[in-house]
Structure 1
Amino acid sequence: MAAKVALVTGASSGIGEAAARHLRDAGFTVYAAARRVDRMAQLRAVGIHTIALDVTDDDSARVAVEQILAEQGRIDVLVNNAGYGSYGALEDVPLTEAQAQLDVNVLGLARMTRLVTPHLRAQRSGRIVNISSMGGNFTTPLGAWYHASKYAVEAISDALRMELAPFGIDVVVVQPGSIRSEWGAIAAAKVLETSGDGPYREQAAAVANALGNSSRPDARLTSSPAVVARAIVRAATARRPRTRYRIGFGAKPLVLAHRILPARVFDLLIQRAVGGGA
């Protein structure tokens, strides 16, 4: 039987790149997609297909899916991984930037799902794996729009799981904790750009430091993207996958703490952890 086909968005670095490699090692025919194809040369060198994809653009998304179907005749797994972290005080973040955050993290996920779902329904099988975050369960200072996007991913995934179950399609959420990747450095730069001056500057400096530290190769209190990639493979291959895989440093204890602690106590815990207190 021909290998199953997986499409991974946001595959030029971090979790997406690791997921593409691990899915290939698990026997999938893998299409790694990102806006910058040149950054995926190493994936192409090991036999992974690389394609250009901007999840915020209708034509780009449609062309990418059509290419895979033309070349392989099927798609079995969609890993909705494309995303970034937009940080800054709500007062400071332009609504155009808020819209951009939702366009990538939420509407981009929905766009790819809408394109792939008809083919999964026709097959009466398939997996949609949505990469959320432990930050889809609780919030941190200066991260309102990022967390709003991940809360939305959680809700969309729950609705999709029920909608698509009658067609043999599983919907799975992966909730990474603190992961070593360039994501943290990008988010740190964003918070300093947005709130590095003005009334939130002390919070911004502290939050940027916490975010930036997670990108360092020697960062403690973080996990490798490979940890998340292995969970994605389990989600894609298990006969009956879990609805959620909570994986990586801090994910399980922090989500549990948020569930059982009074809100103000949890606020204090987070403010001390990331330096976001007054």
Structure 2
Amino acid sequence: MERRKGTIVNVGSITALAPGPWAGVYSASKAALHALSDSLRVELKSFGINVMTVAPGGTKSNLGNSSAAKYDQTHDWKYYKKYEEGLRARTEISQGPGSTPAEELAKKVVASVLKKNPPAWFAYGQFSAILSVLYYAPLWFRDYFYRLVMKC
């Protein structure tokens, strides 16, 4: 604030726009971060501070691998057993073919942050386009889409 310049970068997720099944807590935490960023962006602008929300799509990381392993350790798995295929698909979807390597995402984010006027919103990677479209779709269509794709 004293320098009257700078950029705060918060990493949310594209899933915050159109949360699907089996990702409620994750999507909610990212949506909260998006809301915080939106508020800070307006509050800090008069101090010369930019706030950018990064909303990655599917990005290769250890998150998907560690999430899948947790299903095998869950005690209440019996309630979700019939949804196993969809649950595992949800945790592994960002790790599959076409997902963005973390290094590629990082380079794109850094290039965007270093611009003279960094954008307030930066979405990049697998599924970012489809989830952006689903954000504007009627809820009945979004629900139908997820039931069809995620088999729930």
TM-score by length of 1: 0.50
- Report what 1:208 is aligned to: 88
State the Cα distance separating 1:234 from its structure 2 match: 2.5
Alignment equivalent of 2:24, drawn from 140, 144, 156: 144
Alignment CA distance shift 1:244-1:177 (3 Å): same
State the Cα distance separating 1:132 from its structure 2 match: 0.5
- Report what 1:178 is aligned to: 58
- Report what 1:197 is aligned to: 77
**What are the within-5 Å matches in structure 2 for residues 116-155 of structure 1?**
121-155=1-35
TM-score by length of 2: 0.88
User: Which residue type is aligned with residue 60 of structure 2?
Assistant: R
Structure with larger RCO (C-alpha < 8 A, sep 6+): 2
- Structure 1 SS opposite 2:123: strand
RMSD: 2.0
Task: Assess if the C-alpha contact under 8 Å between 1:136 and 1:153 holds in 2.
Answer: no
- Structure 2 SS opposite 1:198: helix
| Residue segments in structure 1 that go unaligned for 5+ positions in a row | 1-120
Q: Percent identity?
A: 27
C-alpha distance in structure 1 between counterparts of 2:42 and 2:25, whole Å: 26
- 1:73-124 deviations in whole A, cap 9, x for unaligned? xxxxxxxxxxxxxxxxxxxxxxxxxxxxxxxxxxxxxxxxxxxxxxxx0111
Q: How many residues of Structure 1 are paired with residues of Structure 2 in the alignment?
A: 152
- Report what 1:256 is aligned to: 133
Task: Assess if the C-alpha contact under 8 Å between 2:59 and 2:101 holds in 1.
Answer: yes
Q: Which runs of 4+ in 1 moved over 3 A?
A: 190-196
Task: Assess if the C-alpha contact under 8 Å between 2:56 and 2:128 holds in 1.
Answer: yes
The structure whose Rg is larger is: 1
C-alpha distance in structure 2 between counterparts of 1:168 and 1:257, whole Å: 34
**What are the within-5 Å matches in structure 2 for residues 235-274 of structure 1?**
235-259=112-136, 261-274=137-150
**What are the within-5 Å matches in structure 2 for residues 1-278 of structure 1?**
121-194=1-74, 197-212=77-92, 214-215=94-95, 219-259=96-136, 261-275=137-151, 277=152
Alignment CA distance shift 1:256-1:227 (3 Å): farther
State the Cα distance separating 1:220 from its structure 2 match: 1.2
Task: Assess if the C-alpha contact under 8 Å between 2:71 and 2:77 holds in 1.
Answer: no
Task: Assess if the C-alpha contact under 8 Å between 2:68 and 2:88 holds in 1.
Answer: yes
